Amino acid sequence: MMSALPRLEALPLPLTPAPALPAGYEIAQGRLFYRGLDVLALTERPVFANGRLTRPATPLYVRRLSALRENYAYLNAVFAAAKVQVGYPRHMLLAYASKANPSAAVVKTLLEVGAAYECSSAFDVDVVRHAYAQGWLDRTRPILANGFKIPPYADALLRLRADGFQNLLPIFDDLEELESFAAAGLPFEVGLRARTLSEQPNRFGMDAETLRYAAERLAALPHLRLTTYHAMQTVSAARGLSYQNGLIHSLRGYAALWRHAPTLHRFNFGGGLPARHSGMNFEVWMRQTLGTIMAVCAEEGVPVPDLIFETGRYLVQDHALKLFKVVKTRLGADGVPYYILDGSIMSHFPDAWALGEAFTVLPVNNWDGAFVQARLAGLTCDHDDVYPTRRMNAEPLQLPANTDSLVIGFFECGAYQETLGGRRGAHHCLLPEGGELILEANAHGAPAFSYLDGQDAPAMLGALGYG
């Protein structure tokens, strides 16, 4: 008869200190609290779903909708304060770049607090129509249309304008897109996207000569009025000097085009803002950025523009977290154990395995015992389904030696991972998506929870054609 293998915590593994906690995290009675939220309780509290009381199952995706409102309000407040401090004479429009997370709960929350909407495709226009039908926005809400405007997308935008959405702003990436709207005869304010400085080959936007030609073409079309210069920086705002140098280059391009088209009065940054809790000082950055704009415009002798930020990651990154249970352990060849999760890291966090992006990963419980170095692995058969990923070249994590009922949290993962990994479709090794828990406050300010069940076999197999 074979003897039972020893439990992992019974092995003579070297102990390590518990991990340091970032701001906003704390431990109480062996459990992790995130911004005041008892994280383990999210897996323990029964919720209603499909007319029955059930306990949320892992993998569990958790949305904190209050974080979206807080982030939107904070950036507006940062601008308002910097505007006074540096004497900036113009205004800012904050738009949600829905590509970061187009789920209905997120879009609804941000539209209801007043965010403009940035869309990128024909189906995105359908989201605008749905939002209007639900009362999340009206026909006066600014809609910024980026992305390559191939015929189905251009047609959808033209129909939206014909239906009375008066503040629809198409931003042309090339001359061909411009001609589609020139022929339609509908009145629009429009923007032009400039090609910006880039450390990598850049396929977006128009060079200075093409921008001048486009401005001249628009000047001959009374129904299209050029108001917006779009200059998406290709490095994050957190890059400091690199970002400011790129911004200065773009502002000089704006000034040059303004001399040909004095109807220009908006400078659109595009995206590039990191998550709110990334460590960047937004107050300092905003003051520096507004000062840069004022200084360059003074040098160039052009009016200071209104500003547009199209941000996705900043608004949504920290609104979501994902919880997994450790279902088994395996000892690696180097003596470091793998904690096997009840889902796939590759499927849930494509930025981690494809780009080497790190997330805040912490145990949710068992903080009152010893800690060891360990790695995480998914349930798939793929060599790359691990964390830290092979692109990260990072040390193992510090995790509890006791894996009984251990829950692991991936925090601040609310931007891009859902759509890049796929939603409600088929995933690697046919592992199903888990449930989704949405945290909101009710009319009296008390916590309210709604829960969506995870995938079942008929849903996944149906997506693959097994009728």
Catalytic residue IDs: 381
For residue 382, which of 353, 423, 421, 415 has the smallest C-alpha distance? 353
How many CB atoms neighbour CB 387 within 10 A? 26
How many CB atoms neighbour CB 4 within 10 A? 6
User: What is the distance between the alpha carbons of residues 304 and 255, in angstroms, rounded to a whole number?
Assistant: 10
- Write out the two tokens for 463: 């997506």
**H helix runs in 58-200, sequence order:** 65-86, 104-112, 122-134, 151-162, 175-184
400 strand-pairing partners: 371
One-letter amino acid at 302 equals V
CA 77 to chain centre: 20
- Write out the two tokens for 82: 């910097």
What DSSP string runs through 433-444? P-EEEEEEE-TT
User: What is the distance between the alpha carbons of residues 388 and 395, in angstroms, rounded to a whole number?
Assistant: 7
**H helix runs in 6-64, sequence order:** 41-44
CB 228 within 8 A of CB 188: no
The separation between the first and the last C-alpha atoms of the chain, rounded to the nearest angstrom, is: 46
Q: Which residues of 51-73 are buried (b: 16+ CB within 10 A; e: fewer)?
A: eeeeebebbbbbbbbebbbbbbe
One-letter amino acid at 403 equals T
User: What is the distance between the alpha carbons of residues 93 and 116, in angstroms, rounded to a whole number?
Assistant: 7
User: What is the distance between the alpha carbons of residues 68 and 114, in angstroms, rounded to a whole number?
Assistant: 12
List of residues 6+ apart from 335 with CB closer than 8 A? 13
User: What is the distance between the alpha carbons of residues 143 and 381, in angstroms, rounded to a whole number?
Assistant: 44
List of residues 6+ apart from 284 with CB closer than 8 A? none
Residue found by looking up tokens 């070297």 in the block: 14
The alpha carbons of the chain give a radius of gyration, in whole angstroms, of 25
One-letter amino acid at 135 equals G
